[in-house]
Chain A
Amino acid sequence: GQQLNQSPQSMFIQEGEDVSMNCTSSSIFNTWLWYKQDPGEGPVLLIALYKAGELTSNGRLTAQFGITRKDSFLNISASIPSDVGIYFCAGRMRFGAGTRLTVKP
């Protein structure tokens, strides 16, 4: 089946730094979704992308839908401690394995 490959698996950054993570697929997607999951909670949708090349922002978050429709990236600018969590990309009800973000104050 379709596989979504997320990288990196984990990141340790200092508060205030920018973060970038990405997701690639072996098949084409019509939609890319980015979620954040906190411990003990379900994933919460951050950004939805619907068109190839689309660049969308949500506060300090920016995500882009790759031109090939097989990849997407998520950037977080000026990270803060509450950005800690696991970030998932998803498409067609398939999820990547997640990127675990740790922010040191």
Chain B
Amino acid sequence: EAGVAQSPRYKIIEKRQSVAFWCNPISGHATLYWYQQILGQGPKLLIQFQNNGVVDDSQLPKDRFSAERLKGVDSTLKIQPAKLEDSAVYLCASSSSSSDGALEYFGPGTRLTVL
């Protein structure tokens, strides 16, 4: 069974530029998550989707971050414009349900460097 796929693996941009990350979850997983992991910290949830609907985006900085999962399968996360403090690894995860304790499977992440 294929795992969670993410691309690109690395991205370097200058501040104020835009960037987009892509995630393809495990086949059949209805729930998809985007996390931000700053160096030396644990992952922080940005947004949770159930199929193509948003379940939780309370920690998403909506002035510059957006995410969509239009067909309920793959998803994109966009940052526009990027700031220096956005440098982090962006992790995508998926699970078969959205219940508390659902087992999340993570992709390898996209490492973003903002100069």
Contact = CB atoms under 8 A, between A and B. Distances in A.
Interface of A: 4, 6, 30-31, 33, 40-45, 48, 50, 88, 90, 92-98
Interface stretch (B42-50, B61-69, B80-88): B42-50
Nearest to B107: A42
A3 to B, nearest CB: 11
Bin the interface of chain B by size.
20 to 34
A42 B100 contact: no
Contact of A88 (B33, B42, B45, B48): B42
Dominant SS among interface residues on chain B: loop
Nearest to B33: A93
B72 interface: no
Contacts of A31: 100-101
B44 A95 contact: yes
